[in-house]
Structure 1
Amino acid sequence: MTTVDLADPPVTNPFTGTTGLPRTSEGWTQLVTPDGRLHPEVDADRDALGRLTRDLYRGMRLARRLDDEAFALQRQGELGLWLQCRGQEAAQVGSVAAVRADDYVFPSYREHAAALWRGIGPADLLRQWRGVAHSGWDPEPYSFHIYTLVLAAQLLHATGYALGVQRDGSDTVVVTYFGDGAASEGDASEAMNIAAVNAAPMVFFCQNNQWAISTPTASQTRTPIHRRGAGFGLRSEWVDGNDVLAVYAVTSAVTEHARSGNGPAIVEATTYRMGGHSTSDDPTRYRTDDELKAWRARDPLARVEALMRAEGWSDEAFLGEIQAEADELADRTRRECLALEAPDLADAFATVLADVPQLLREERDAFVAYRASFLD
């Protein structure tokens, strides 16, 4: 019988140059406290760390501004639905910034901050939610797959893709995002098991935002999600998901682990969904004002702002530049959304089969005639 050594080999902490990641008494990795103080073990070059922090902050601010504008567009009837990522910017930006541009990402449906970081623009992000296309963008140029609305299905898609790049001899790592609700799906367990058995070069990144629509995490699992991954044989990490530097460090470490042929890893980033599950959800029906207030005090953007002030990494000029860029992005988001027009349904008949048969042509003609029979 062959046994597998599941002991995690040491990885390099990108901020200390040493192996291992500092953990709090709770057991998770945290490098910046909620009031903006650096962990004493962070021993990186301050100028380089300042540049990285400013870049991450920029990504988070732009994502929040796009998110707010899309929310307003939905409320004004310009989008059919929108799922906010407010509160989860650190988890998304910190993780996607830590992997290579050619590492392939499989998102769920809320990874707007990660998509924006990869260069996907407002029109592509909004197209699906405006109802003018089944998906928003061509994944290939961005190494970023289209959104998956079926819970946990993207974990199996990602695992299959990872097995493919593994057999191609590539050193690409595949990253897949999912939530605490998706972790309860059977597809999640199957994907983690298949990935572990095949030592797939994967990072499973769980954004535990505390609520699966209206079901709290405590009602879904008796153990932390990252421990479940360990049971399948994945390297497992738990991180403060509202601490962008900690997320960056942990994701860097597990990506190195996977890229080096040591098999897949899982990261549980504990964060919070500040808005509803979607714009059709009323979170006041199932969570308290006190809970929301407590998590607002842990706002990931406010934490970075406090850190940059304390370290002297920002000034009014820098903040003004970010504000101007965010305003321009909001304007662009609105313009591009309103410019998205619904496709001509008659064109759908031409894309069912490569060679359009006579019957399909007749059906198209019948549809066009039927549509023309209506008064303007």
Structure 2
Amino acid sequence: MKRFAAYDPPEYHNWTADPALVKACRECITANPRREEVIRGLGQEQLLDLYAGLLRNRLHDIMLKRWVKSGIISKAWLGVGEEATTIGPVHALRRKPGPDRDVVAPMIRNSGACHEMGMPVADIFRSYLGTADGPSKGRDLHVGDLGYGVLPPISHVGDVVPVISGIALSFKQRGEDRVGITWIGDGSTKTAAFHEGINFAAVLRLPVIFIIQNNQVALGTRLSQHAAGSFEDWPAMYGVAGGTFDGNNVLDAYAATKLAADHARAGNGPTLLIAETFRMGGHATHDEREARSMFDAELFAGWGRRDPVGLYEAWLEEEGIGREVMEEIEARVSAEVEAAAEEAIASRENAMPRPESAVEDVYA
């Protein structure tokens, strides 16, 4: 895809596929026969839909960074480098409108879950701009809309875990063939709500998937500073199914989640998955310099070579999908995001919240 010198991480500016890493991605897929079977069952339309989702997620974040740099917003929480950890799992769920649509509960940097569940990209931008015609009616930039199966994030990290477990309990009680999913940062795993929510789901064998999005840092706390041991041991600790997937490989992410969803629909309870990935920036756009001072440049360089968009493009080419096909998709998605941004900016001009709306839809 096109690289943007002003907005992309510097490691992405002159990105080229490392043959050894492309080979490693392919070996990652073939190493697990069950996951490989899932991936080989995907048709070209589904493979390209995954590609469009990765691009939409990346270009959404680039637009937000453009807005920060031009003063439209003050800061943004981006998921650059982690897109596959969001897009792969969401595509493994039931996303079409209907009574059997699954429910996702993203963190703020899993915004890709919103548009891949069907939310208009313009509505996601409106949430950042605080317009009255946005999903939260101007109140909050934590984006979601249950009409699309998206539970908005809760600012208190970890607290969404018991909420999505409660939603999964409702599926079970009503006999619905539906699954809930949420992502938890490595830092959020230290909260009481995280442990209580997973334990609750495990005891009641609820149809829910938890993904620990291990991007190596929680705000300013490096993973090496935690006293938690390996996340790989955690599923057994709770008595649930589990596994690890490559958070920069959208196909591995898809397959691991698809198997977890099948496991849940069969009545076998939760799955706790661990996604190994890396955040190519700060906690938000305001502290990117601080984030880079926490780690050696070599770490950013290593993860920069594993750009999930670029690696998937290389895999698609090896599968015989031409560059011109991907360029057509990129042009379409880019136009979609640009149009959504213009639409949201127009809302800021003519659809700001009324002051008295601050006390509407408030419950005590």
TM-score by length of 2: 0.82
Name which of 7, 21, 27 aligns with 1:34: 21
2:356 alignment partner in structure 1 = 346
Check 1:320–1:353 CA distance in 2 against 1; reply closer, same or farther (3 A cut).
Answer: closer
1:291 alignment partner in structure 2 = 299
Quick check: 1:321 aligned with 2:303?
A: no
Q: Output the CA distance in 1 between the equivalents of 2:234 and 2:20.
A: 27
Unpaired segments ≥5 residues, structure 2: 1-18, 96-100, 132-137
Q: Deviations over 1:222-268 (max 9, x none)?
A: 32224223201111111111111111111011111111111111110
Question: Displacement of 1:337 after TM fit?
Answer: 3.0
SS of the counterpart of 2:60? Answer: helix
2:338 alignment partner in structure 1 = 331
Check 1:46–1:250 CA distance in 2 against 1; reply closer, same or farther (3 A cut).
Answer: closer
1:6 alignment partner in structure 2 = none
Question: Displacement of 1:141 after TM fit?
Answer: 2.3
Conservation of the 8 A alpha-carbon contact between 2:186 and 2:216: yes
1:257 alignment partner in structure 2 = 263
Question: Displacement of 1:115 after TM fit?
Answer: 1.3
Name which of 215, 218, 229 aligns with 2:224: 218
Name which of 190, 196, 203 aligns with 1:197: 203
2:114 alignment partner in structure 1 = 115
Conservation of the 8 A alpha-carbon contact between 1:80 and 1:129: no
Q: Deviations over 1:41-95 (max 9, x none)?
A: 5467969444332221111012101110111112222123311111111111110
Question: Displacement of 1:128 after TM fit?
Answer: 3.1
1:56 alignment partner in structure 2 = 50
2:10 alignment partner in structure 1 = none
2:139 alignment partner in structure 1 = 134
Q: Output the CA distance in 2 between the equivalents of 1:349 and 1:38.
A: 54
Conservation of the 8 A alpha-carbon contact between 1:159 and 1:191: yes
1:100 alignment partner in structure 2 = 94
Check 1:79–1:295 CA distance in 2 against 1; reply closer, same or farther (3 A cut).
Answer: same
Question: Displacement of 1:206 after TM fit?
Answer: 1.6
1:239 alignment partner in structure 2 = 245
Question: Displacement of 1:131 after TM fit?
Answer: 3.5
Percent identity (aligned): 29
1:364 alignment partner in structure 2 = none
Larger helix share, 1 or 2? 2
Check 1:48–1:188 CA distance in 2 against 1; reply closer, same or farther (3 A cut).
Answer: closer
Conservation of the 8 A alpha-carbon contact between 1:135 and 1:147: no
Q: Output the CA distance in 2 between the equivalents of 1:62 and 1:207.
A: 20
Q: Output the CA distance in 1 between the equivalents of 2:360 and 2:208.
A: 38
SS of the counterpart of 1:257? Answer: helix
1:21 alignment partner in structure 2 = none
Q: Output the CA distance in 2 between the equivalents of 1:61 and 1:83.
A: 17
Q: Deviations over 1:255-293 (max 9, x none)?
A: 111111111111101011112111222312312221111
Aligned letter for 2:287?
A: D
Q: Output the CA distance in 1 between the equivalents of 2:358 and 2:37.
A: 58
1:152 alignment partner in structure 2 = 158
2:72 alignment partner in structure 1 = 78
Unpaired segments ≥5 residues, structure 1: 1-31, 355-376
Conservation of the 8 A alpha-carbon contact between 2:52 and 2:330: no
Q: Deviations over 1:117-151 (max 9, x none)?
A: 11212232123322442246662321111122210
Q: Output the CA distance in 2 between the equivalents of 1:303 and 1:128.
A: 31
Conservation of the 8 A alpha-carbon contact between 1:122 and 1:332: no
Name which of 308, 316, 321 aligns with 1:300: 308
Question: Displacement of 1:171 after TM fit?
Answer: 1.6
Question: Displacement of 1:308 after TM fit?
Answer: 1.4
Q: Output the CA distance in 2 between the equivalents of 1:56 and 1:351.
A: 37
Check 1:73–1:140 CA distance in 2 against 1; reply closer, same or farther (3 A cut).
Answer: same
Conservation of the 8 A alpha-carbon contact between 1:183 and 1:225: no
CA RMSD of aligned residues (A): 2.4
